Amino acid sequence: MSQVMCMSAVSVSNVPSKHVGKLQQRGTARRTARRSPASAAKTFAVTVQYSVATKQGKRNEDAHFIKSDSESSFLSVFDGTQGSDAAEYLKENLYSIFEEKSKSISMSTRILEETYIEADKKLINYQPPGLFGMFAARGLGGPRCFSTGATVYIKDGKLTVANIGDVKAILGNSDKVQQLSVDHVGSDEDEQQRIQEAVIASLKEKEDVTAKIAIRAPENFFQYGDACTYPGFTWQLIQAGTSFPIGGPVTRGFGSAFLSGSTLLPEGYGFIAKPAVTQVDAELGSWVILASAPVWRNLTTQEAMEAAKSSSKGVEGAAEAVLGAAALQEDDDATVVIAEITA
């Protein structure tokens, strides 16, 4: 079963995604942006049009948020793991944290970075209410619940992207398609080094003899990519006698109190929420695609952009076109948000 909705972006602050099958929405917001002094000292009118398509799978752990008006556009996709609580929290609260940070910080790159880190702290430090809450494990949705995410913020002629985990953000214009996000997964050598340093620091703090092994022969303690034995993991630690391996599908995300740092172990297992942040000019005619991890299993960035632009309905049908081209499995949760910047 599918549903289609069309509405004005100016009147929408939060677009619901909990519908059976695919849900597509479209909005248009007109705003005035300023070019940087190096390019032109004049204002120009910009229209941001967007569409959203979602597919509910077995777990229904995805969420998204859109706020678009005459001043700016803020679009986010969240891909939850081990429950939907983290993704739902971000859908309801990330933008309000962003607004609060904007009162004291002027640079959008810094605002987004501080917003992601603050949201992560709130998720990790959540304690259930009531008498028995003090005895429960910390973390909204439980200690292993977390979400990856990506955000696009368009204002004053600039397009800023922040992401953690494997939700991708790509940009397409007249001559190229480029990925603006960074994949925080175990196959990335920089992430491997960071994870290893954090874990070794924590093992030393615990006075765990395993630290010596990890320092001397990290290949006997850390596994990455295809070497991981747990399905879906891109990194894990080898620990005998554990019923559930330590590791995960990504190396960064919102939440996961179990893997993140704490007062006792500041480094934790190296799982952090510091986002990769990229800023480019918001060029007229550009298309931006935000999509959760399952969409990219069978699509390259080029193929996704081609699918979006192949829609006979333009941007209105673009998100649904990408979702259809992704050849998703029955159990997959998936979300696609597409924005077009036009005059």
pTM: 0.86
Distance CA 65, CA 78 (A): 9
Q: Over 50: is that where the pLDDT of 24 sits?
A: no
Q: Over 80: is that where the pLDDT of 210 sits?
A: no
Number of domains in the chain: 2
**Would you say residue 102 lies in a domain?**
no
Confidence of residue 197 (pLDDT cuts 50, 70, 90): very high
For residues 219 and 331, membership in a common domain is answered with: no
Instruction: Tell me the C-alpha to C-alpha distance, in Å, between residue 247 and each of 67, 84, 167, 271, 331.
Output: 34, 19, 18, 9, 22
103-152: pLDDT as tens digits: 999 999 999 999 999 999 999 998 877 655 565 677 899 999 999 999 99
**Would you say residue 238 lies in a domain?**
yes
Tokens 């010596």 belong to residue: 212
Confidence of residue 314 (pLDDT cuts 50, 70, 90): very high
**Range 246-262 average pLDDT:** 93
Residue 187: DSSP 8-state: T
58-98: pLDDT as tens digits: 889 999 999 998 889 999 999 999 999 999 999 999 999 99
Instruction: Give me the numbers of helices (H) and strands (E) for the chain, helices first please.
Output: 6, 16
Q: Over 80: is that where the pLDDT of 45 sits?
A: no
For residues 27 and 73, membership in a common domain is answered with: yes
Mean pLDDT of the chain: 84
Count of Cβ atoms closer than 10 Å to residue 310 Cβ: 12
Measuring CA to CA, which residue among 305, 294, 40 is closest to residue 167?
294
**Would you say residue 131 lies in a domain?**
no
DSSP assignment string, 305-336: HHHHHT-TTTHHHHHHHHHHHT---TT--EEE
For residues 172 and 198, membership in a common domain is answered with: no
**Would you say residue 91 lies in a domain?**
no
Instruction: Find the CATH number of the domain harbouring 57.
Output: 3.60.40.10
Measuring CA to CA, which residue among 100, 98, 253 is closest to residue 160?
98
Instruction: Tell me the C-alpha to C-alpha distance, in Å, between residue 235 and each of 24, 79, 157, 163, 245.
Output: 35, 18, 38, 19, 10
Tokens 């259930």 belong to residue: 128
pLDDT of residue 26: 45
Q: Over 90: is that where the pLDDT of 318 sits?
A: yes
Domain that holds residue 228: 189-249
- Measured in residues, the chain has a length of 343
Which 3 state secondary structure label does DSSP give 91?
A: helix
The b-or-e profile of 215-247 (16+ CB within 10 A means b, else e) is: eeeeeebbbbeeebeeeebbbbbbeeeeeebbb
**Range 253-265 average pLDDT:** 88
pLDDT of residue 128: 73
Confidence of residue 185 (pLDDT cuts 50, 70, 90): very high
